DNA sequence: TTAATACTTGACTAAATGAATCAAGTCAGT
DNA sequence: ACTGACTTGATTCATTTAGTCAAGTATTAA
């Protein structure tokens, strides 16, 4: 399924921050841009939203940069998704409920099921994700 | 999650055809438009693609209309999704694979998981869906 | 045979979204 | 004061979405 680039960028940036969170030092934008190949000014927009949502914090000045505002075990992918695109995890609108047909109700039911499954899958913390690297759970990747 | 209107329309139309498939008679466009409240010319485009994909067949002339080209047990939601939007069920592009970072690999892994789950959920036949109406499995709908 | 019903095809468009880019700041440490 | 680093708001460009328009072709009941 196609995922908006902004969400992929935000998730990768946050994962990068999680992987570097043990040093305690903030990660400069420049480093995120280079390791993740994300357009700098675009990433700034995303980090800004993550900051306002309380997921990321910033340090200004020469040795400044970005860091997670909470422990990786307290941040989920769903948090990031909701912050960057508030609509993506919404349940189906009642748009098709105006149409009172059996077909419309069937559709609404199955799509609600699918949305719920997606939401549950995104309730995974950054800590759980980074742990996969240690456990070698990425065997299906080329 | 937001789903393109064209996919919702196509699924609802096909479900309507499934529900009316026992009569053996083709369903006129007009009836689909009225029961499903879909813009006529827009629906025509979608039905045309479903026809070319072999999911729907048409009968021209006065008593003409649309009907499923196969038994409802031989058509899945995934078929309809793929026909209307060929990209929606694709696995994640290797776009993020060019970036060789741990964060990018983690992201790619989780998103592949999610895409696979979605694909599996869409492997449900129209027959299974319409059967839900009889079994009263729509209790979670308002 | 012809009028009415129904599908076919291709081009076209307005609005929204996605993906950036630009410019002019503000802030903190040396 | 200078410099590296984050902040903010506006703007741009291309693509996609969700339709609409127009000019057909096919079928059949009367």
pLDDT of residue A7: 98
Q: What is the pLDDT of residues B71-92, one digit of tens each?
A: 999 999 999 999 999 889 988 7
Q: What is the pLDDT of residues A109-123, one digit of tens each?
A: 999 999 999 999 999
Q: Is the pLDDT of residue B112 over 80?
A: yes
pLDDT of residue A142: 43
Mutation target for A interface from B66, B99, B106, B124: give the one with most A CBs within 10 A. B106
B105 contacts chain A (CB < 8 A): yes
Work out the average pLDDT over A45-67: 96
C1' of D23 to CA of B116 (Å): 44
B134 contacts chain A (CB < 8 A): no
For residues A80 and A14, the answer to whether their CB atoms sit within 8 Å is yes
Q: Is the pLDDT of residue A139 over 80?
A: no
Work out the average pLDDT over A80-93: 89
- Give chain B as a 3 state SS string: CCCCHHHHHHHHHHHHHHHCHHHCCCECHHHHHHHHCCCHHHHHHHHHHHHHCCCEEEECCCCCEEEECCCHHHCEHHHHHHHHCCCCCCCCCHHHHCCCCHHHHHHHHHHHHHHHHHHHHHCCEHHHHHHHHHHCCCCCCC
For residues B55 and B68, the answer to whether their CB atoms sit within 8 Å is yes
pLDDT of residue B90: 87
- Cα distances (angstroms) measured from residue B11 to each of A10, A108, B24, B123: 32, 10, 20, 13
What distance in Å separates residue B61's CA from the closest CA in chain A? 26
With CA atoms as reference, the chain B residue closest to A142 would be B97
Q: What is the pLDDT of residues A4-25, one digit of tens each?
A: 999 999 999 999 999 999 999 9
Q: Is the pLDDT of residue B139 over 60?
A: no
Work out the average pLDDT over B18-40: 95
Give chain B's mean pLDDT: 91
- The tokens describing A38, both together, are 């994300």
- The tokens describing B36, both together, are 């499903």
Asked whether the beta carbons of residue A121 and residue B124 sit closer than 8 angstroms, the reply is no
Cα gap B81→B88, rounded to integer Å:
7
Q: Is the pLDDT of residue A141 over 70?
A: no
Confidence band, pLDDT 50/70/90 cuts, at residue A91: confident
C1' of D4 to CA of A61 (Å): 7
- Give the count of alpha carbons within 13 A of A53, CB side only: 22
Q: Is the pLDDT of residue A134 over 90?
A: no
Tell me which residue in B1, B89, B142 faces A89 most closely, judged by beta carbons. Answer: B1
B87 contacts chain A (CB < 8 A): yes
Euclidean distance between the first and the last CA atom of chain B, given in angstroms as a whole number: 18
In percent, the amount of chain A with pLDDT more than 90 equals 82
Q: Judge whether residue A136 contacts strand C, using its CB and a 7 Å cut-off.
A: no
What are the start-end ranges of the E strands in A1-139? 56-59, 65-68
A6 contacts chain B (CB < 8 A): no
What distance in Å separates residue A60's CA from the closest CA in chain B? 24
Provide the b/e sequence for A47-74 (b: ≥16 CB within 10 Å). Answer: bebbeeeebbeeeeeeeebbbbbeebee
pLDDT of residue B142: 42
Number of residues that this document lists for chain B: 142
pLDDT of residue B94: 59
Q: What is the pLDDT of residues A124-133, one digit of tens each?
A: 999 999 999 9
Q: What angle do CA A97, A103, A109 make, to 5 degrees?
A: 60
Tally Cβ neighbours within 10 Å of residue A115: 18
Confidence band, pLDDT 50/70/90 cuts, at residue A138: low
- The tokens describing A43, both together, are 């990433």
Q: Is the pLDDT of residue B124 over 60?
A: yes
């Amino acid at each position: 399924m196609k995922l908006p680039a902004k969400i992929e960028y935000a998730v990768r940036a946050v994962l990068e921050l999680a992987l570097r969170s043990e040093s305690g030092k903030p990660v400069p934008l420049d480093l995120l841009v280079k390791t993740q190949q994300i357009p700098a000014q675009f990433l700034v927009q995303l980090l800004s939203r993550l900051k306002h949502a309380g997921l990321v914090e910033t340090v200004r000045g020469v040795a400044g940069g970005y860091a997670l505002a909470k422990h990786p075990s307290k941040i989920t992918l769903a948090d990031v998704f909701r912050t960057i695109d508030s609509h993506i995890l919404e349940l189906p609108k009642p748009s098709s409920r105006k149409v009172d047909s059996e077909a419309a109700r069937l559709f609404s039911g199955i799509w609600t099921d699918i949305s719920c499954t997606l939401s549950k899958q995104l309730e995974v913390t950054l800590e759980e994700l980074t742990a996969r690297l240690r456990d070698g759970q990425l065997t299906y990747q080329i």
